[in-house]
A = this chain, B = another copy of it.
């Protein structure tokens, strides 16, 4: 039933992931002071899909209608732009936010390894995040783009970082507040999650000198797919068996975490705090979760979230019309589909 060529998306992401990984190792050598740089690399070395840098590279390819997977990411297009340095920059920002978020969310595990504050300590985790933050700006200044394009890319990056902090602040605040609406939730995930996808899609266009309309459309593509990505994450927590999820299915429900699904249910008059009786992930049963999911299904909340994600992806894919019709462009469309069809 899939509308996408899953093998092609996987192959495209796998190949670019390898190149991004090489570039990350090159950009962040374990320098003096060694513990600081080892801690900075800890999560990056633990893996990750490299979705954001891959989107950045694919947009660069689509804009220049270059054969994908050219070896020329370090001197790309007629002006010889180091788009890989920009790709590395957004991945480094992502890693910085994960390190600091794990502290705030008290998460001990990430990508199958201890989070940085667990593997090292709180001080080192704060500093590792801070170091990656400025390193990302250094990378974005290292693309060999003209000064005016560099300035514009830097502005996009700086604004994006401010917005990510605002989104994370809202997320933390929402955990402590009553009466959050689905609209507020969507605003939060736009800031917390989607703006970095938007930067990843628009920055290559800025660096390669695309016109404003193209830059703006790609920015919106990133917002749309980034928001859909987060809504899909919320859905996966409820719909994927615990074994495949790698954590208790429905843990968001048990822990009382607000999601688009529960907030919609609340707006339908459901008492979401009573959906699951226990608030301990250890003692909850599959039957408890099943009953809660059924209630959410009856309220139309799961369908609402699915439709929201699907509409975002449809909008996002339509934005890609600004790009030339080429393989990189179709892969970008398929990545959008992949984000809401993935099962983990």
Contact = CB atoms under 8 A, between A and B. Distances in A.
A33 B130 contact: no
Interface stretch (A68-76, A121-129, A327-335): A121-129
A151 B141 contact: yes
A133 to B, nearest CB: 6
A35 B151 CA distance: 30
Interface residues of A, number: 40
Interface stretch (A152-160, A267-275, A304-312): A152-160
A165 B104 contact: no
Interface in A132-169: 133-135, 137-138, 141, 146-148, 150-151, 154-155, 157-159, 161-162, 165-166, 168-169
A138 B159 contact: yes
A98 interface: no
Contacts of A36: 165-166, 169
A42 to B, nearest CB: 14
A134 B146 contact: no
Given A33-B166, A141-B155, A161-B134, A172 B103 contact: no
Contacts of A162: 131, 134-135, 138
Interface in A23-37: 32-33, 35-36
Nearest to A135: B162
Q: How many copies does the complex hold?
A: 2
A161 B133 contact: yes
Nearest to A145: B151
Given A35-B173, A141-B154, A147-B147, A104 B133 contact: no
Nearest to A99: B126
A170 interface: yes
A100, A134, A135, A161, most chain B CB atoms within 10 A: A134
A173 B123 CA distance: 10
Interface in A1-55: 32-33, 35-36
A181 B279 CA distance: 53
A150 B150 CA distance: 9
A250 to B, nearest CB: 25
Contacts of A161: 130, 133-134, 137
B166 A131 contact: yes
Given A104-B127, A165-B127, A165-B130, A33 B170 contact: yes
A123 B32 CA distance: 28
Interface string A204-222: 0000000000000000000
7 contacts: A33-B170, A36-B166, A127-B169, A137-B158, A138-B155, A141-B158, A150-B151
Interface of A: 32-33, 35-36, 100, 103-104, 122-124, 126-127, 129-131, 133-135, 137-138, 141, 146-148, 150-151, 154-155, 157-159, 161-162, 165-166, 168-170, 172-173
